[in-house]
Amino acid sequence: MTRKKFILPLLILCAALAAAILLCACSSGGQSQAPDAAPSATDAPTEPPTENPIQKQLAGMATDEKIGQLVVAGFEGYEVDETFASLITDGHIGGAILFSRNISSAQQLCALTNGVKETAGSGIPLLIGMDEEGGSVTRLPDDVLSMPGAYTLAQSGSTGSCYNGGMQIASQLKAFGLGTGFSPDLDIWSNPNNTVIGERAYGTDAQSVVKYGIAAMKGMRDGGAVPVVKHFPGHGDTDADSHYSLPVISKTKEELLSQELVPFREAIKQGVPAVMAGHLQCTQLDEEYPASLSKKIVQELLRDELGFDGVAFTDDLTMGAVAENYSLGKACVLAVNAGCDMLLVCHEYENASAALAALKEAVAAGEISMDRLDEAVTRILKMKADYNITSAPVEAPDVAALNARTQAFY
């Protein structure tokens, strides 16, 4: 009896101990618990890398859309017709250039540019431009007063007048929904027999063109229009008109660097976003191709040596200097491979369609590489973003107020 009394409490004690052990095991999941470790530096949250919006936009584009961005096309009439609408929506052209044939009045011009923008819709906006230098080269409607020409402004001896003149041209362009006037002209009027440039230039020597032409360029830039300096590498010392024939320049590279190229070099230093290559046969630089189609001049001289990385335009590829010597398709392919990014095809719908077809064929065949195509389109998209080129419509401007500001330059 005594022995039973001793065993019973012992059994109870063992059962209690077993229960306690089991309870501890359950609470710990059967494993020992280490204290929480302090987070290491590598565990700290990191922000994802910022995606380049231009590269993102480029990655979302089909090849045909990229090709279309290279072409700036002209068209007929005072409104967007079915054919030109197709070039915008199906051809994906990158820009439109207007001429007097497209413009009858201030109100009509505003309606036209809004029509181009509306047709583009949610697609990549077009760079809409026209030749607007002031003086003898103007496309503004008759009811809008144009600016004095470059040479006239420079004769005032005031860089401020040239800067403000450039800004006023930008204001005129922006008022009608345009993004560029394909100006200013940085040619040096060093040949008195040169009638195609003449008073479009800011001077007869490099120093004058740098002083006044660069001021005008800055005014346009600060006014929000894309300045496109021209006609690289210099059209001032010629006596032939590239609209009809190919001017020949026999100066050496050293001579060009000391004269014609001085204003362009300065424009590049000042961050000019766009340069237009002229149809000029510079025999000491390239015996075979004119500047607009020459890799030696556009890529090697303009880009590699002078350091330009903006958008390179060709002059109109339907001009006689090119059209008399090359098929349009061949010229387009040569221009892109030379380093030009946007090709002006100013006349005839058939020419714009032929340009697009030739570029598509060259890309498909590998004659124009995808790397070269992407390089050009990246530059174009960046320029459009930098200068806020959009498809937003504009309201008709107050023409009287616009003219009053222009009148102050006379």
Catalytic residue positions, numbered: 243, 315
Q: Which structure tokens are listed for 317? A: 């590829």
> Dihedral, CA atoms, 136, 340, 205, 189, nearest 10 degrees?
-40
Separation of alpha carbons 290 and 287, rounded Å: 8
Separation of alpha carbons 277 and 280, rounded Å: 8
Separation of alpha carbons 323 and 332, rounded Å: 11
Separation of alpha carbons 107 and 109, rounded Å: 6
Task: For residue 380, give the nearest of 106, 68, 166 by alpha carbon.
Answer: 68
- With a CB cutoff of 8 Å and minimum separation 6, the contacts of 335 are 277, 292, 293, 314, 317, 343
- With a CB cutoff of 8 Å and minimum separation 6, the contacts of 321 are 242, 243, 244, 245, 246, 247, 279, 280, 290
Task: For residue 310, give the nearest of 382, 366, 368 by alpha carbon.
Answer: 382
Q: Which structure tokens are listed for 192? A: 């008195």
Compute CA 386 distance to the chain's CA centroid, rounded to the nearest angstrom.
Answer: 8
Q: Which structure tokens are listed for 214? A: 């660069």
Separation of alpha carbons 178 and 172, rounded Å: 9
Q: Which structure tokens are listed for 196? A: 């195609």
Reduce the DSSP state of residue 130 to 3 states and report it.
strand
